[in-house]
Amino acid sequence: MASPLGKGRIEVGADSPFLTVPIGGCGRLVVLGECNYANKGVTCPMWLTSTDDLPALKSFYERAVRLRQRALDVGNQVVVQQQAHIITNLTVRLKSLEEPEANGTLSLDEMLAQLRTDLAEARAGLEEAQTAGLLLAAKHLERVISELKTRLSALEGPNQ
């Protein structure tokens, strides 16, 4: 099915029961099996992109802005809200990929934010692994969660 955004397509094919997005990739552990997330792209917390994806992300952003404007013109508030959410996510993603750090390192606040995000994703993965009965994946994720908590505690210090 062609996307209303134009060139970028969202496909559901006979060969693949999943939606595929032509930009970036999935950060979900393969051992967890099928992903039940409805939107396999911009709004998925496991969506990964790199600086290699910048041209496509910029194009996607521009198309989303145009679609939002067309929806405003015809009074389609559902599409306006959806595109506003997508545009916000893309803006944050683009900003994070376009702003090179002076020395390639993250600030303390950025590191803490990244560790908290990683911890939330690991907890969600652990829940999925436990639900699916994937004991080895669950054990691995429990260790990852423990390591992330340790790193967070060390960075936050005794005052937190």
Tell me if the pTM is above 0.75.
no
d(C-alpha 53, C-alpha 71), whole Å: 26
d(C-alpha 81, C-alpha 102), whole Å: 36
pLDDT of residue 72: 93
Q: Which residues of the chain carry a pLDDT beneath 50?
A: 1-20, 102
pLDDT of residue 92: 83
Name the nearest CA neighbour of 32 among 136, 157, 129: 129
Contact criterion met (CB below 8 Å) for 56 and 8:
yes
pLDDT of residue 96: 81
How many CB atoms within 10 Å of residue 106?
12
Q: Would you give the DSSP letter of residue 32?
A: G
d(C-alpha 60, C-alpha 2), whole Å: 14
pLDDT of residue 15: 39
- From the DSSP assignment, how many helices (H) and strands (E) are in the chain? 4, 2
pLDDT of residue 136: 87
Kindly report, residue by residue over 82-96, the tens digit of the pLDDT: 888 888 888 888 888
pLDDT of residue 55: 92
Name the nearest CA neighbour of 47 among 39, 36, 55, 58: 39
